[in-house]
């Protein structure tokens, strides 16, 4: 199916885009108007765009229903300051409640049961329950259109971060497994990040990876190894060689058992290498594959 965005109704564009551009982190924005009315609303059109200067952007859209603009946008145009509170799993139902379209004078802190805490550099309050809060100055508001559904980039410079001590180790480093971020997908779907669904991909960028085109043909054309397995193998800086000290009982068994049938041996070695790669054991997988030569 091919969709031309120009042929879709606004709600349909929103539907497909939000299901595929996902998961999106959620910024819980606290703002005030010039009379001092506080607003607290979530926005998943949100991300980090620069570290120096430190810039994050979120986007309150014009309502598709009636093309009106959201209180958060009105507020940052009156008082260009915002606290961006990072949303974690424990907060998600309250955050969703805060997204109700309450009248402007009603304070979502009270409606959603959050505690306001004074910020240190700006006027809007922080959400005490949030484990990470960023005090930001709004440096620009950039409308992306005039129709319903049009986004408005609220470009924010992060001035100060408050990170809960429980997320930091003794060297002030963060443990990614401890912030249980949530993220928004399409419709009512959310996902949750925790130790059970996080994984690591080692950066190959200190030195150049050899690349998939430099892998031996028998590996590159493997019927067992997948693209991601090949990429793991191709992330080494030079083609590995057999290490005589490498000992592996299962490898020994394969070589003994299939010595009369090289095709079957290749298949079995690839199956074993794949298992090792799926466990992140790239060096060992290379040794298994080299055993074929
Ligand atoms: C998790 C979540 C993410 C949301 N993301 C956005 C968004 O990126 N842009 C937007 O315009 N509305 C978004 N909404 C809806 C707004 O939060 C909602 O319209 C809110 O009432 C706006 O409040 P305000 O008028 O007080 O600023 C989101 C709602 C939820 C629950």
Q: What is the pLDDT of residues 209-220, one digit of tens each?
A: 999 999 999 999
Q: Looking at the predicted structure, is the pLDDT value of residue 203 above 80?
A: no
Nearest alpha carbon, ligand 1 atom 16: 99
CB–CB of 26/98 below 8 Å?
A: no
List the residue whose alpha carbon is closest to atom 18 of ligand 1.
Answer: 99
Of 42, 141, 187, the residue with max ligand 1 atoms within 8 A of its CB, to mutate for a pocket test, comes to: 42
CB-ligand 1 contact for 30 (6 Å cutoff)? no
Residue 206 pLDDT exceeds 80? no
Whether residue 43 has its Cβ less than 6 Å from ligand 1: yes
What percent of the chain is helix, strand and coil (3-state, nearest 5)?
30, 25, 45
Q: How many C-beta neighbours within 10 Å does residue 94 have?
A: 19
Nearest residue to 187 (alpha-carbon basis) of 44, 71, 87, 56: 44
Which of 60, 114, 184 for mutating ligand 1's site (highest number of atoms within 8 Å of CB)? Answer: 60
State the pLDDT at residue 207: 83
Q: Is 23 exposed, middle or buried (0-12, 13-18, 19+ CB in 10 A)?
A: middle
pLDDT at 105: 86
CA distance 17 to 185: 10
Tell me the pLDDT of the chain averaged across its residues. 96
For residue 261, the model assigns a pLDDT of 93
Question: Mean pLDDT over residues 60-80, rounded?
Answer: 96
Give, using CA atoms, the residue closest to atom 15 of ligand 1: 99
What is the pTM (predicted TM-score) of this model? 0.92
pLDDT in tens, 104-137: 889 999 999 999 999 999 999 999 999 999 999 9
Q: How far is CA 55 from CA 145, 183, 255, 266, in A?
A: 22, 20, 56, 51
């Amino acid at each position: 199916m091919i969709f031309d965005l120009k042929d879709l109704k606004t709600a349909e564009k929103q539907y497909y885009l939000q299901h595929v551009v996902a998961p999106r982190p959620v910024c819980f924005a606290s703002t005030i108007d010039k009379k001092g009315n506080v607003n607290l609303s979530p926005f998943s059109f949100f991300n980090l765009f620069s570290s120096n200067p430190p810039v994050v952007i979120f986007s309150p859209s014009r309502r598709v229903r009636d093309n009106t603009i959201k209180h958060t946008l009105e507020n940052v145009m009156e008082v260009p300051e915002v606290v961006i509170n990072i949303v974690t799993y424990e907060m998600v139902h309250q955050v969703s409640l805060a997204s109700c379209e309450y009248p402007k004078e009603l304070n979502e802190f009270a409606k959603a049961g959050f505690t306001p805490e004074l910020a240190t550099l700006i006027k809007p309050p922080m959400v005490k329950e949030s484990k990470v809060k960023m005090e930001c100055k709004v440096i620009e508001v950039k409308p992306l259109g005039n129709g319903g559904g049009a986004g408005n980039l609220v470009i924010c410079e992060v001035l100060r971060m408050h990170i809960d001590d429980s997320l930091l180790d003794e060297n002030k480093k963060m443990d990614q497994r401890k912030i249980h971020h949530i993220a928004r997908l399409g419709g009512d779907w959310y996902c949750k990040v925790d130790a059970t669904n996080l994984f690591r991909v080692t950066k190959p960028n200190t030195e150049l990876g050899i690349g998939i085109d430099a892998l031996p043909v028998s590996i590159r054309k493997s019927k067992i190894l997948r693209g991601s397995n090949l990429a793991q193998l191709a992330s080494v800086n030079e083609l590995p060689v057999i290490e005589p000290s490498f000992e592996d009982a299962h490898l020994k068994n394969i070589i003994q058992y299939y010595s009369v049938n090289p095709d079957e041996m290749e298949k079995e070695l690839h199956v074993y290498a794949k298992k090792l790669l799926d466990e992140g054991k790239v060096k060992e997988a290379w040794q298994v594959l080299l055993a074929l030569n």
